[in-house]
Amino acid sequence: MTEKDLTDRRFYPAEEEAGFADADPSVTPQTQHPAYKLAFRDTDFMLRDELRPVRFQLELLKPEMLLDEAGVGSTLVMYGSARIPSPEEAQAKIDAAKSGTEQEQRVAANLAAKAKYYQEAYTLAKLVSEKSIIEDGQRQFVVTSGGGPSIMEAANRGASEAGAESIGLNIVLPHEQAPNAYVTPYLSLNFHYFALRKMHFLLRAKAVAVFPGGFGTFDEFFELLTLIQTGKMKPLPILLFGKEFWTRVVDFEAIADEGTISHKDLDLFHWCETADEAWAHIAEFYDLER
């Protein structure tokens, strides 16, 4: 391109400008001071409290751009515990607790009994991924998890073993946290802000499968219900796995009977126990082949 080219931009791109700065041989008190750094390359500056709005914007924009570039049209989001073992690990968890307290043994047995949901999460992710639904040139129902272990691992593993890409939305925590090995590397995203992470879970979601889980799963599940109940989000299939677990820890009927929600709000989610049931409900909702 020449300076006479009508399609040429008049300003250098940021990457090229950064190269100019790197090539500057000047070593003076002025050029060595942090104040002289280009603002977008100054990590200390970007991490200041005053820059929080900018970091919010970046954390919203980066995943959106990467998912667009990857051709992700819609997602199947899968929420669930980070503690439920796989069927292969269930007995080992029980054995490991034998020398512990009665409570520890009971908890281990309860978690091991939920290993079937690891299997169902894996099966659902594999089933949907194998369908390879493409619409408008984009992949639909791309499996998306929180990127961690247990139910999240099962989701990414099912997609991976179907030969499909899957998304992992990880988050920085005070304790060590790493993506599970089955997340597609270029779709493995990391977040600082829970709020932005939760937004990206739902921006492309066309269905959400919720498995037994803890505070994080409750948070994600009830926020989703709230968004749909209040009309901020259009209805979509919410597949709630594990009726025995959920009705034991949450008395949905009692909440409705108390009048703080309507009984019709209980229709916002659909009870499931198997991957086949979940896909049947999704297929019915969107008029797809089963």
Residues 85 and 48 both lie in one domain: no
**Whether 137 and 273 share a structural domain:** yes
pLDDT exceeds cutoff 90 at 2: no
| 114 and 31 within one domain | no
* Number of domains comprising the chain: 2
pLDDT tens digits, residue range 11-23? 888 999 899 988 9
Distance CA 48, CA 110 (A): 44
pLDDT at res. 34: 92
Gap between the Cα atoms of 179 and 167, Å rounded? 10
Asked whether the predicted pLDDT for residue 247 surpasses 80, the reply is yes
Q: Is the pLDDT of residue 9 over 90?
A: no
Q: Which of 6-15, 150-159, 171-180 has the highest mean pLDDT?
A: 150-159
The distance from CA 154 to its chain's CA centroid, rounded to whole angstroms, is 13
∠ CA(63), CA(66), CA(67), 5° rounding? Answer: 85
Q: Look at residue 118 in the predicted model and tell me its pLDDT.
A: 98
Residue 76 lies in a domain: yes
Same domain, 32 and 83: no
Give me the residue label for tokens 């390879």. Answer: 132
Domain contains 5? no
Are both 204 and 244 inside the same structural domain?
Answer: yes
Q: Give mean pLDDT, residues 81-110.
A: 96
Residue 4 lies inside a defined structural domain of this protein: no
d(CA 286, CA 205): 13
Whether residue 212 is predicted with pLDDT greater than 60 in this model: the reply is: yes
225 and 136 within one domain: yes
What number is the average pLDDT over the span 78-82? 97
Name residues whose C-beta falls within 8 Å of residue 46's C-beta, 6 or more positions apart in sequence. 39, 40, 54, 55
Q: pLDDT tier at 44 (50, 70, 90 boundaries)? A: very high
**pLDDT value at residue 289:** 86
Quote the CA–CA distance of 201 and 167 in Å, as a whole number: 10
**Domain final residue pick, 59, 78, 105:** 59
Asked whether the predicted pLDDT for residue 1 surpasses 60, the reply is no
pLDDT for res 211? 98
Query: Is it the case that residue 241 has pLDDT exceeding 60?
Result: yes
Residue 86 pLDDT level (bands cut at 50, 70, 90) = very high
- Domain termination site, one of 59, 78, 106: 59
CB 80 within 8 A of CB 212: yes
**Domain with 40 in it:** 27-59
The pLDDT-based confidence of 100 (bands split at 50, 70, 90) is: very high
Q: What is the CATH number of the domain that holds 94?
A: 3.40.50.450
Q: pLDDT tens across 18-38, in order?
A: 999 889 888 999 889 999 999
Task: Check whether residue 160 and residue 189 sit in a common domain.
Answer: yes
